[in-house]
Amino acid sequence: MNKIVLKNVRPFVNGKFESPTTMNLADGKWVKEDLADAAVFDAGGALALPALFGLGLDFKEPLRDDIYDFKDGVDAMRRGGFYGGLYESSDNAIDDSRKLSAIKQISSFAGFAFSFLGAFSVGYKCKELTEMIELAEEGAVGFGDGNQDATRTRFLRLAMEYGSMTGKRFFFMPLDESLRHHGLVHEGHYADTLGMKGIPRVAETIAAFRILEMARFLKVPVHFKQVSCGETLKLIENAREQGVDVTCDVDIYHLLLDDSCLFNLDSHCNVVMPFRSASDKEALWQGLKSGTVNAISVNHDPVLRQDKEVNFEDAVPGAISLEIALPALWKSLVEKLGEARALELLSFAPAKIAGADSSDLSLGSKANLVLFNDKEETVVAPSLFAGQVRNCPLLGQTLSGKIKGSYLGGLWTEV
């Protein structure tokens, strides 16, 4: 329905939550006039947050729409209160403007704001440059590596040098494949105890350093996806002091889990950037506090049930998070950083990085919001998730807070 009256709701306006009030929502806006014909929902004092923006969406279309598609993805965004996201598929490189045009068409769900990363190399293979100028003209907001190692240094230079003509940002998940060397988990005492091949921190820092040096040399803005250790944050701080334009995000699950979860051997904890040590997790939280980290990413990566219902090492890596990101993080974020910073990290900053409009709430203007009761709880059950996938590392856990509904693109969805 495109009209709804939310009673007893506390909207986040001008940096704080207001006292319980009534919000009249119609045609995608928060309106003054009474909506006599609209349905009424008693929010019971729930918070009305500006809707969230997801960095790292991969809805698998078109090549793997047997797993997931944009319809599933938008369903997940409604359930989780996301009005938009930055899309980049690791299976399906957007490496020419026709592909970008096609995927923009597929993703044209009314009111949702998708931004797209073009690939800077054909098929993410780092052998041929893509037509970055055309991709930028078609609407690519930046150029990405598809979460595949792009640290072949000469190609990196050429890609960044050529792409610099567009003025767009380059997005990297810093991970040196040769140092990774088939590793799946953080190289630490849990991996050593279990006899599992580890990924050392230097696989990330060496890749990051190489990219930062290139960014400094070529004066190209860069973004690091899913930074997982404190050492990389130090490199970012140093590079910023030298004038490098670098932003970064941390993955939601890296703020919640560390490599001690390996002892459970739960294949849902098999993700591309591995969960690192408890001290790394703490360093990421410090990075959020200090401002070194710009945003929190969701990295919504659907994996079929049968590809996770195997032993840890044979599982397809990846995790979904759109539906549970808010209850999973909100309490900790607010306790450690405050409400305003929490929303900055989950909504405004990710949108800014992706070149999208923000979802500020104010009377008389466009309204995308998520209704969240921070006094209730969410049990992470399979029924929470859209589509046929369930690959969430928090399955079975109880989270603080519950999403009650979302008003996105002018459509009210009760969750």
Partner 1 sequence: MSALEIKHLFGLRGVSKQDIRLILDHAKQFREVLERPVKKVPSLRGMTVVNLFFENSTRTRTSFELAEKRLSADTVNFTSSNSSVKKGETLVDTLRNIEAMKIDIVVVRHKGTGVPKFLADNSKAIIVNAGDGAHEHPTQALLDMLTVEEKLGTLEGKNVTIVGDIRHSRVARSNLWGMTTMGAHVTLCGPSTLVPRNTELMSSVTWESDVKKAVKNADAIIALRLQKERMDDALLPSMREYRNTFGITHELLECAKDKVLIMHPGPINRGVELDSEIADGENSVILNQVTNGVAVRMAVLYLLAGGRAHE
Residues near partner 1 (CB under 8 A) are 187-196, 265, 267, 306, 309-314
User: Least separation, in Å, of the C-beta of 309 and partner 1?
Assistant: 6
User: Least separation, in Å, of the C-beta of 406 and partner 1?
Assistant: 35
Angle of helix 230-241 relative to helix 201-218, nearest 10 degrees, comes to 10
- Pick the closer one to partner 1 by CB: 19 or 306: 306
Where are the strands (E) in 150-279, listed by range? 169-172, 185-186, 198-199, 222-224, 246-251
* CB 37, CB 24: distance < 8 Å: no
- Pick the closer one to partner 1 by CB: 217 or 263: 263
Q: Which helix (H) or strand (E) holds 78?
A: helix 70-80
- Pick the closer one to partner 1 by CB: 146 or 188: 188
- Pick the closer one to partner 1 by CB: 89 or 205: 205
Q: Which helix (H) or strand (E) holds 52?
A: strand 52-57
Closest C-alpha among 246, 244, 356, 247 to residue 296: 247
CB atoms within 10 A of CB 173: 27
User: Least separation, in Å, of the C-beta of 198 and partner 1?
Assistant: 8
- Pick the closer one to partner 1 by CB: 110 or 278: 278
User: Least separation, in Å, of the C-beta of 279 and partner 1?
Assistant: 12
User: Least separation, in Å, of the C-beta of 391 and partner 1?
Assistant: 15
CA 283/CA 278 separation, integer angstroms: 9
User: Least separation, in Å, of the C-beta of 229 and partner 1?
Assistant: 14
Strand 39-50 to 369-379 pairing: antiparallel
Quick one: tokens of 168? 């767009």
- Pick the closer one to partner 1 by CB: 184 or 394: 184
3-class SS of residue 385:
coil
